[in-house]
Amino acid sequence: MRNFVLLALACSIPLLFFPVASSMAGEPPMMQLTFDPGFDASPTWSPDGARIAFTSGRNGLSNIWVIPAAGGQATRLSLIDDIQPDWSPDGAQIAFTSYRSGFSDIWVMPASGEPPATNLTNTPSFTEEDADWSPDGTRIAYTSFRGSSWDIYVIPSTGGLAIPLTNDPGLDIGPAWSPDGSQIVFESDRSGDLELWVMSASGGNPTQLTNNPEEDGMPAWSPDGSQIAFASLRTGNSDIWVMPAAGGPATQLTDHPSADVTPKWSPDGTRIAFTTERSGQVGYPDIWIMTFEPVAVSPITWGALKATFR
């Protein structure tokens, strides 16, 4: 269940964004990608790694925008009240969450922008969000609230019958496919608080990956399938961490007083885009990118997550 409050300032003049390298001691090299005084969040990479789509409130509404991954001018892609973009594996389309029908549904539009845009889920009685394309592009996993609980569903990327993958009385949210398409990692509170879990792509054999007194969330699989990045409060602040995909001790990647959330790996696995307030505007985050060599996961005390931005 995403609680990313959509705060924004109106912006009527196109802006140029100039990347600046900056990081705290011990962090990987950082680059600020967006500099708008409004709200930029939820980055997703194009399959070729050249562009990043993201949610922005810079025009007074939340919309999907795209910007070169090296920095530059951002371009608006969607037209109405839209969040949480996810790029299709072939680069041709972007799935996103939209309230344009009066309810929260999963929509798809051309990666060049709309029109047209297609409502895939079209379920007025339910809340659908958190779209994530399967690696082969044929399916989209997403989160659905259907009256009593949040569960993970999957639907053909061309539309059709949605199939539940989880059916738990608790909270199952934020699905992310493994690169080979055989598994889905997600957040669940079925063990008492939000932890990372993994299941088969058909919904079978759910297995808990993290186990700590509080919460972990927003998982993202590395392109080679060996690691999972996620947001965590393990040090009392929301930072980006990484752990083996099979489970085990985690390594901290960011260490900043501001909240760092929504990590997304670049297609080559050497960068992670994320949402952060480290540029100094509380409540108005920006997109930043960290660059790093693959890390060796080392033992560390388990902690927790309760990220503000979902």
Which CATH number does the domain housing residue 90 bear?
2.120.10.30
306 within a domain of the structure (yes/no): no
pTM: 0.86
307 within a domain of the structure (yes/no): no
- Residues 182-218: tens digit of each pLDDT: 999 999 999 888 999 999 999 999 999 999 887 899 9
Task: Give the integer Cα–Cα distance in Å for 43 and 33.
Answer: 10
308 within a domain of the structure (yes/no): no
Domain span including residue 50: 30-291
260 within a domain of the structure (yes/no): yes
Predicted pLDDT of residue 234:
86
Instruction: Count other Cβ atoms within 10 Å, centred on residue 295.
Output: 12
Q: Report the candidate in 194, 148, 204 with the shortest Cα–Cα distance to residue 174.
A: 194
23 within a domain of the structure (yes/no): no
Task: Give the integer Cα–Cα distance in Å for 286 and 35.
Answer: 7
Task: Give the integer Cα–Cα distance in Å for 281 and 258.
Answer: 10
- Residues 67-95: tens digit of each pLDDT: 999 999 999 999 888 999 999 999 999 99
Q: Which residue type is seen at 153? A: Y
How far is CA 238 from its chain centroid?
A: 15
141 within a domain of the structure (yes/no): yes
21 within a domain of the structure (yes/no): no
Q: How many domains does the chain have?
A: 1
Predicted pLDDT of residue 9:
21
**Residue 64, token pair as written in the block:** 């999907």
- Sequence-distant (6+) residues with CB within 8 A of 4 are 41, 42, 55, 83, 309, 310
Please state which of the ranges 125-134, 149-158, 193-202, 230-239 shows the lowest mean pLDDT: 230-239
State yes or no: pLDDT of 19 exceeds 50. Answer: no
Give the mean pLDDT of 252-261: 92
309 within a domain of the structure (yes/no): no
